[in-house]
Structure 1
């Protein structure tokens, strides 16, 4: 077991993110995973047969690190990007993601930010979504609508600097994973997610869905009031219950026992309060892999809606853009079937000088366009701060 003072003591920055060899970082509360180099890429394909392709890969290529890392997009029909690294290192415990002095980013200079869609278009989409919920109460219970911010800076974005800034929040899982290159340009998905989609550890399975959110306040009394208001919000508790219900329904037939505590708990990040429920169970069949579970669960009502097919159709009609890897999953799996996958929210797709940030909000009866616009603005704050920006600077306060 390795216990470096910082991860750069293990792999210096030029090796963690070399210019021509995209690398991977996943830093959670109990471990940090580093991978670098690309030994093999998993052939692309939809999520429906992803688990079979993963099994074949490990059978046909038994040598090398026993791990695949990468990201799964939101759209179930879109290809995932998973790779077998040349080297991988798992460090137990949470370790500092250091960045050399002077590298905390050129991104504050000459920065351009564009909302896509514009805020008024997003608010109109929420209003239309609420109308659909009223018109179809028996077939549509929740939808999740998102919007994005495009950021362009003066020089290439420093991925290590970005994740070092995100990693100041110990309540989130910081990640940076390569995506398939576009026209020979390296792309990364970088973020700080609070939400565990699913983990398989031997016969044990875990999930920690989040739904229902409120902005935190630097004032202790107001912060406590925001948390208490979220806990007592009928609308937010109803939204959260839909997510837990769907995950329990999916996992229950696969488990000999499955537990979710009564009621909800609060999950706090530096910028947001979330309603959360910790689900755990024991699988009937040890042959059910983490990727099998991802394929069954994704996308959950936390990022899509309920029912899934109907909500997804409304999202595609109202959002007007491709989510890409936002609201997908990021994580790892091994040949035994173990793995850990997080929901890829609070994230950005990075390509050279360009970044696209995403944030979404759950729409249920009782939601308002103004409230959901404000929620997405609050959810942008962690990524904006990592770029040295504030919501007020760009009109998102």
Structure 2
């Protein structure tokens, strides 16, 4: 016999993760999240959560109704903007999806002529912005880093098949964090982020900042050379150290037994090598949720710069577009405080015929504009591959 509490529970019977992807359809009331430990499909809006600070209270209220609630969705880069978070009516849960199990078709080889491309800013404009930032940092050592992004707008009649794109992203980088969540109006934010901002399970806390990158090569010898060069690059090691130090300082008031490795390791995605540090700790106050910690960390120097306020101001001056949800936070959290939140990277906003790609690079005083432009082009390839295009501008 089903109790009233069970009837109101929004948690559906677990199924295979690939089944969840097969049943996902974009919409303002649906979200798909896949990571190394689980797959989630959220359906229906029990309650919107435009202010992340209210998530804990609203989750507690939903649990008091006899639910087992989650909050899912995305938080923007800029403070004060409304979040795209909601408590779903129903959540389907499954094991992680392994490579090759999505039944996703290969990249659709749409004719190049069917796509209209518009880089914002144009490549020369991006190089000029990087050069200006470098001049400012060389004149003022207190401004240590700024992350500058650009977009690539792809337009094709009929738009893109979002579920198929998600499947290709999963197959390409199965160990990352793949997502498709509402982005406001009819838009969907789709991505495959390599960077875990914060996970909490019980009192165990993990953050995995990435900073310092190099494009992969199809030649194994050259690929290894690039990885080794990245691992000893003074510029990239310094950029990485800014981020790790910021994570340490943000988590220290909340965690005991904080473990921060002395040197980064290398991780790889299909398109990029990254310097990576896994920071772990034990939560001091069990009432501090994963989302609380994610908000304390956001934005890290990996997506903004340092010092944060000055870097954010410079981004507003030099970037000719609104980042929206890009370089924000996307993920889930439950009423007990557990959750998994990742940095919104390697992503695009799909809305009708338009697919708007985002990519950025960390700029420090030693940066070379042409190199940062090439890094963003390499990062675009994650999505270009998913729609059957390989070359960025």
Question: Normalization by structure 1: what TM-score?
Answer: 0.90
- Deviation, 1:11, is 6.7
Q: Which moved more, 1:224-233 or 1:314-323?
A: 314-323
Q: Which moved more, 1:217-226 or 1:83-92?
A: 83-92
* Aligned-partner SS, 1:242: helix
* Aligned-partner SS, 1:341: strand
In the TM superposition, what are the counterparts of 1:124-143 in structure 2 within 5 Å? 124-137=128-141, 139-143=142-146
Structure 1 residue 223 and structure 2 residue 223: aligned? yes
Instruction: Give distance in 1, aligned partners of 2:249 and 2:357.
Output: 32
| 1:171-227 Cα shifts (integer Å, max 9, x gaps) | 32111111221xxxx111101110000111111111000000001111110011000
Q: Is the 8 A contact 1:195 1:209 kept in 2?
A: yes
Instruction: Give distance in 2, aligned partners of 1:70 and 1:109.
Output: 35
Residue matched to 2:273: 273
Residue matched to 1:33: 40
Aligned partner of 1:72 among 75, 78, 83: 75
| 1:254-283 Cα shifts (integer Å, max 9, x gaps) | 112100112110010011000000000011
Alpha carbons of 1:372 and 1:21: their partners in 2 closer, same or farther (altered >3 Å)?
Answer: closer
Instruction: Give distance in 2, aligned partners of 1:310 and 1:11.
Output: 41
Residue matched to 2:10: none
* Aligned-partner SS, 2:187: strand
In the TM superposition, what are the counterparts of 1:228-243 in structure 2 within 5 Å? 228-243=228-243
Q: Is the 8 A contact 2:216 2:223 kept in 1?
A: yes
| 1:299-342 Cα shifts (integer Å, max 9, x gaps) | 00000001111111111111122101100011001111111100
Q: Aligned-residue CA RMSD in angstroms?
A: 2.0
Q: Is the 8 A contact 1:65 1:86 kept in 2?
A: no
Q: Is the 8 A contact 2:107 2:385 kept in 1?
A: no
Residue matched to 1:332: 332
Q: Is the 8 A contact 1:171 1:270 kept in 2?
A: no
Instruction: Give distance in 1, aligned partners of 2:69 and 2:124.
Output: 48
Q: Which runs of 5+ in 1 are unaligned?
A: none
Structure 1 residue 7 and structure 2 residue 18: aligned? yes
In the TM superposition, what are the counterparts of 1:56-71 in structure 2 within 5 Å? 56-62=57-63, 63=65, 64-71=67-74
Instruction: Give distance in 1, aligned partners of 2:87 and 2:111.
Output: 31
Residue matched to 1:55: 56
Instruction: Give distance in 2, aligned partners of 1:148 and 1:203.
Output: 38
Residue matched to 1:254: 254
Q: Is the 8 A contact 1:108 1:388 kept in 2?
A: no
* Aligned-partner SS, 1:76: coil
Q: Is the 8 A contact 1:189 1:349 kept in 2?
A: yes
Alpha carbons of 1:80 and 1:107: their partners in 2 closer, same or farther (altered >3 Å)?
Answer: farther
Q: Is the 8 A contact 1:65 1:87 kept in 2?
A: no
Alpha carbons of 1:65 and 1:102: their partners in 2 closer, same or farther (altered >3 Å)?
Answer: farther
- Deviation, 1:60, is 2.8
Q: Is the 8 A contact 1:255 1:281 kept in 2?
A: yes
Aligned partner of 1:159 among 159, 162, 177: 162
* Aligned-partner SS, 1:253: coil
Alpha carbons of 1:129 and 1:255: their partners in 2 closer, same or farther (altered >3 Å)?
Answer: same
Q: Which moved more, 1:193-202 or 1:21-30?
A: 21-30
| 1:46-75 Cα shifts (integer Å, max 9, x gaps) | xxxx23x11221233334441010001110
- Deviation, 1:292, is 1.0
- Deviation, 1:90, is 1.9
Residue matched to 1:171: 175
* Aligned-partner SS, 1:37: strand
- Deviation, 1:3, is 5.6
